[in-house]
Amino acid sequence: MKSSLKILTTLGISIILLPNLVVQANSTTTPKSLRGTWYEYLGHSSGYSVTKIKKHAVVTYNISNNGKKSYYRNYTAKKKGSLKLHVKKINKNSKKAYGKTGGSYYQLNQGINEAESLPFMWIGHRKINGHNYRVLKSYLNMRYFHVASHKKIAKVASYTYSRSDYPSKIGK
């Protein structure tokens, strides 16, 4: 009787702890759909903004046309404060951030200030130079939507959406 009670107790503890372990693992793991190196063209004189999304890290920086890197940021689960990677999926029409959005998106950290915050991110499609590309779209503020592709394309694809229903474009 005592051995069966120990087994049930052990199983009960395992069942209770297992869901918590899954949640913790997902909170620092980026979704596969976002992973890779993404390039956002900033203009002829500015170069590219680069976002490298790995399984447990996000690295961002700008690279000028002559190859110099600037504004380097490394977000991981081991960091503290606004550089801490914490992945949260926000479903369409959730009231967690902007209310009625056009689709689901990811919040990868909860930065204290804008300079160290990662924008909301999702995968979309955009026509650039006459070709349809799978792109990483992101939104931080001021109704400006960033568009980045896996290829270095020398065309600014980011855009401003000035209408008042701009939250409906987040996640689309």
Question: How would DSSP label each residue in 56-108?
Answer: SEEEEEEE-TTS-EEEEEEEETTS-GGGB---EEE-TT-TTTTSS-SS-EEE-
- Per-residue pLDDT band for 131 (boundaries 50, 70, 90) equals very high
| End-to-end CA, the chain | 58
pLDDT of residue 149: 97
Phi, psi (rounded to 5 degrees) for 95? -95, 15
- pLDDT computed for residue 142 by the predictor: 85
pLDDT at 147: 97
pLDDT band at 35; cut points 50, 70, 90: very high
The pLDDT value given to residue 81: 84
- Position with higher pLDDT, 44 vs 54: 54
Strands 36-43 and 120-128: unpaired
The per-residue pLDDT for range 65-110, each reduced to its tens digit, is 899 999 999 999 999 888 899 999 988 866 665 667 888 999 998 7
pLDDT of residue 164: 87
CA dist list (Å): 162 to 62, 118, 120, 147, 165: 26, 22, 18, 16, 8
Q: Is the pTM of this model over 0.85?
A: no
CB 63 within 8 A of CB 48: yes
* pLDDT confidence of residue 36: 97
